[in-house]
Amino acid sequence: MKPELGRSQSPAWRGVPPHMARRDLALWYRFLDRHGSEYQAIFYDVALGDGTDPGPDQLPEYRFGFIRLTRLRADAIAVRPAGWTLFEVRPAAGAGALGAIVTYRALWEADPPDKRPLEAILITDTIKPELRPIYAGQDVRILLV
């Protein structure tokens, strides 16, 4: 199933995206202050994967709502003419953030919106040195902010 991107936001927007924790938000704002202008638009809380279908006996509104609620959610995906960028925002990132990024990227690439490439970036404030090569091995860029 294709991602459900939702409405876009300008990189200048400083509201509170759905499901982004406050401590994640501080990192995200720092990232936007430094790099936001590199992107055309940002989609938040992007739904990925198939979700769970409660079945055809349900009312369509309920069925669509349940599927939407049970899909996985990427923190943010930005777009520019050259391609897409998937962001995972995680203070003191560990191995779990890598699992999230790799999973979201795989779901995106299973049915992407177009042929433009997807770059994956972890935004964090600190990460253990031994994890850096593992992230690099999965082609995930680490951005300290």
Segment lying near another protein (by CB under 8 A), choices 15-23, 58-66, 93-101, 102-110: 58-66
Strand segments (E) across the chain: 8-9, 41-48, 72-80, 83-89, 118-124, 140-144
Instruction: Lay out the site mask for another protein across 9-38 (x = CB under 8 A, - = otherwise).
Output: xx----------------------------
Query: Is 56 an interacting residue with respect to another protein (CB under 8 A)?
Result: yes
Query: Is 113 an interacting residue with respect to another protein (CB under 8 A)?
Result: yes
**Cα–chain-centroid distance for residue 22?**
16
**Identity of the residue, 99 or 113, whose beta carbon is nearer to another protein in the bound complex:** 113
Contact partners, residue 13, CB within 8 Å, separation at least 6: 42
User: What is the C-alpha to C-alpha distance for residues 27 and 144, in angstroms, rounded to an integer?
Assistant: 9
Query: Is 49 an interacting residue with respect to another protein (CB under 8 A)?
Result: no
Segment lying near another protein (by CB under 8 A), choices 24-32, 46-54, 91-99, 134-142: 46-54
Residue 6 beta carbon to another protein: minimum distance, rounded to whole angstroms: 6
Helix (H, G, I), strand (E, B) or coil at 108: helix
Tokens matching residue 130: 């031994």
Query: Is 57 an interacting residue with respect to another protein (CB under 8 A)?
Result: no
